[in-house]
């Protein structure tokens, strides 16, 4: 799995490429922690190339929910495949995270 973080038109985007399993979830955790430490107010997660996410990966997103809320940081996930989105939905994380279809929608969401 590859993780890359870029600043694009003022939006901080973390792109995930590949599978997020127990071992690679650590890299995802580090990337989000870095974004939070940098003081970003909006974090976009590009899931266009996210193939599979394990419970450990879901655990990473889950563990930031309360912290982001407290620091008033918005995190938006976009580009999820149907299968990956269903995993979030089954667990109920769709109720707590912002999940949109496209990057534009995600940028829009952060500017609301």
Partner 1 sequence: MLASSGIIRFTIASAIVCWLGLCLVDLMIGFEIRNANVELGVPRFLSIILLTGYIVSLFYHYKYRLATADNFNFVELLWRVFVTGLIATIVSVFIQFFLSFVVSGSKLAQHELLLSLLYHINIGLILAFVISTFLVWKKLVLYQKTKALLRTWQVFEYSFLASLLFHFVPHVRFDLPFSLIFAFLVALGLVISPNLKWIAFLNFKQKWKSILLILLILLYLCYFLFYLLDQKDNELLISDLTSHVSVLAIYTFIILYAISSLLVTLFNLPTTSVFEQKLEEVVNFQRLSQSTHTGQNQDEIYDLLLESSMSATFANAAWFELNHKTNGEGMITKSIKPADIEKIRAALKEQNPKKSKRTGVTSRVSNQNSTLVENIKHSYFKSVLVYPLEVQNEKIGTMVLLKEVSDGFNNDVVNIVNTFGNQAAVSIENHRLLQSAIENERYLEELSIAKRVHESLLPSTLECNEYFDITAYSKPADEVGGDYYDTHRISEDKFALIIGDVSGKGTSAAFNMSQMKGVFHSLAQIDMDPQEFLVKANEALGRCLERTSFITLSYFILDTREKSVMFSRAGHCPSLYFQQSKSKLEFLKSKGLGLGIIRNQEYSNYVEVNRFNIGTGDLLVMYTDGITEAKNPMGEEFGYERLKQVVSDNINKSAVEIQKAIVQGLLDFTQVGEIEDDFTTMILKFR
List interacting residues with partner 1 (CB under 8 A).
22, 25, 29, 55-56, 58-60, 62-63, 65-66, 83, 90-93, 95-96
Token pair, residue 109, equals 């969401």
Residue with Cβ nearer partner 1 (96 or 105): 96
Whether 19 contacts 85, CB under 8 Å: no
From the list 42, 46, 101, 35, the residue with the least C-alpha distance to 74 is 42
Smallest distance, partner 1 to C-beta of residue 29, A: 8
Distance CA 55, CA 33 (A): 19
Smallest distance, partner 1 to C-beta of residue 22, A: 7
Smallest distance, partner 1 to C-beta of residue 98, A: 15
């Amino acid at each position: 799995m590859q993780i890359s973080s870029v600043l694009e038109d003022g939006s901080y985007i973390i792109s995930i490429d590949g599978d997020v399993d127990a071992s690679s979830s650590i890299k995802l955790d580090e990337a989000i922690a870095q974004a939070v430490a940098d003081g970003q107010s909006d974090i976009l997660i590009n899931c266009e190339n996210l193939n599979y996410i394990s419970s450990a990966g879901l655990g990473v997103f889950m563990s930031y929910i309360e912290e982001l809320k407290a620091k008033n940081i918005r995190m938006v996930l976009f580009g999820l495949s149907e299968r990956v989105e269903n995993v979030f939905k089954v667990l109920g994380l769709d109720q707590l995270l912002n999940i949109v279809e496209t990057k534009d929608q995600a940028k829009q969401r952060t500017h609301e």
